[in-house]
Structure 1
Amino acid sequence: MGLLYNDCIFYKVFTHSPNIQKADEIILQIADVHTDLVNRLSTSEGKEIKSRTKAYYKKVKEDLKTQVDKFGLEIQKLD
């Protein structure tokens, strides 16, 4: 998430006539998703059952990959 955030900042600073409003929206979305993922990782519910825990963290990992891909495409489209 930090690298995506940095990409948006670099876009805003080093691009000739950047779309600052859209970049700021993406930065806020990245922050929201980051907070959500950290909260999901911080939960201790269901850790007694190993298979449930494994499935839970697998889902978090899949969601992280999906979000990173989505934000990467959105940053590429900035112009």
Structure 2
Amino acid sequence: MSSRRDLKKLIHNSVGTLYDDLIFYKVFTQNPNEEKADALIDKISDAHFDLINRLSATEGKEVKGRTKTYYSKIKADLQSLVNQFGKEIQSLD
């Protein structure tokens, strides 16, 4: 199992890549839909904050299987959020 520090880095890097994609969209696209891009940035920011808060709270530290399941769920949620936001970024045009 990864350490919490590695999971936090994974969350920050994944969300940072989404932010970068949106900034590139806003800067390098000829008529960007800035309102939708800004709304998407807000949604990504909220999801980022939620994932970090969930990771910071320890869940059932004394029961190893429960802890492993908790962190696996956070990883799965991160993956689904990145996929969802990636599709939303692609559909901005």
Under TM normalisation by the shorter chain, which class is it?
Answer: over 0.9
- How far has the Cα of 1:45 moved from its partner? 3.2
On the 8 A contact 2:18/2:86 being kept in 1, the answer is yes
Q: Structure 1, unaligned stretches of length 5 or more?
A: none
Q: Does 1:78 align with 2:89?
A: no
TM-score (norm 1): 0.97
Q: Does 1:54 align with 2:78?
A: no
Q: Which residue of 1 aligns with 2:50?
A: 36
Q: Which residue of 2 aligns with 1:6?
A: 20
In 1, the alpha carbon distance for the partners of 2:37 and 2:17 equals 14
RMSD: 0.6
On the 8 A contact 2:22/2:41 being kept in 1, the answer is yes
Deviates more, 1:52-61 or 1:42-51: 42-51
Work out the number of aligned pairs and report it.
79
TM-score (norm 2): 0.83
The SS at the match of 2:32 is coil
Q: Which residue of 2 aligns with 1:68?
A: 82
On the 8 A contact 2:59/2:70 being kept in 1, the answer is no
Q: Structure 2, unaligned stretches of length 5 or more?
A: 1-14
Q: Percent identity?
A: 61
- How far has the Cα of 1:57 moved from its partner? 0.4
